[in-house]
Amino acid sequence: MFALRSIAGPVRAPACAGSRHRCVVVRAEGINPSIRKSEEKVVDMVKVADLPTPKAVYCRCWRSAKFPYCDGAHVKHNKATGDNVGPLVIDSTPAAAPQ
Ligand code: FES
């Protein structure tokens, strides 16, 4: 998975050379700085019946020291970058019966 960042301004990319049209260069960056980098793809699967607690909180910012669980590292990441990422919360408690 990659984040895309557009670069616009005085830099002229080779693909834009000679173009009379406005040119935008899009560069892909990795979003995972350190988690299980030796694996080709980081995949985790948990059966709902096996959740450690009725509410399980999973990291989506790739900064947690307890990955795949959220440890709150997204707060520091958001403050440093202006990003707005947060965890995925799986609530396995039964839904209230309709009245
Ligand atoms: S630490 Fe990554 S979403 Fe909370």
Mean pLDDT of 7-27: 65
The position carrying tokens 């002229």 is: 12
Q: Is the CB of 68 under 6 A from ligand 1?
A: no
Pocket test for ligand 1, best of 59, 66, 79, 89 (most atoms within 8 A of CB): 59
Residue 24 burial by Cβ neighbours in a 10 Å radius (0-12, 13-18, 19+): exposed
Residue 75 burial by Cβ neighbours in a 10 Å radius (0-12, 13-18, 19+): middle
Residue 5 in this model has a pLDDT that exceeds 90: no
CA of 65 to the centre of ligand 1 (A): 9
**pTM as predicted:** 0.68
Mean pLDDT of 86-99: 91
* Higher-confidence position of 52 and 73: 73
pLDDT tens digits, one per residue of 19-63: 777 777 777 788 999 999 999 999 999 898 888 789 999 999 999
HSE on the CB side for 10, CA within 13 Å? Answer: 0
Residue 85 in this model has a pLDDT that exceeds 60: yes
55-91, what's its fold? Answer: Ribosomal Protein L9; domain 1 (3.40.5)
For residues 97 and 92, give the distance between their C-alpha atoms in angstroms, rounded to a whole number: 15
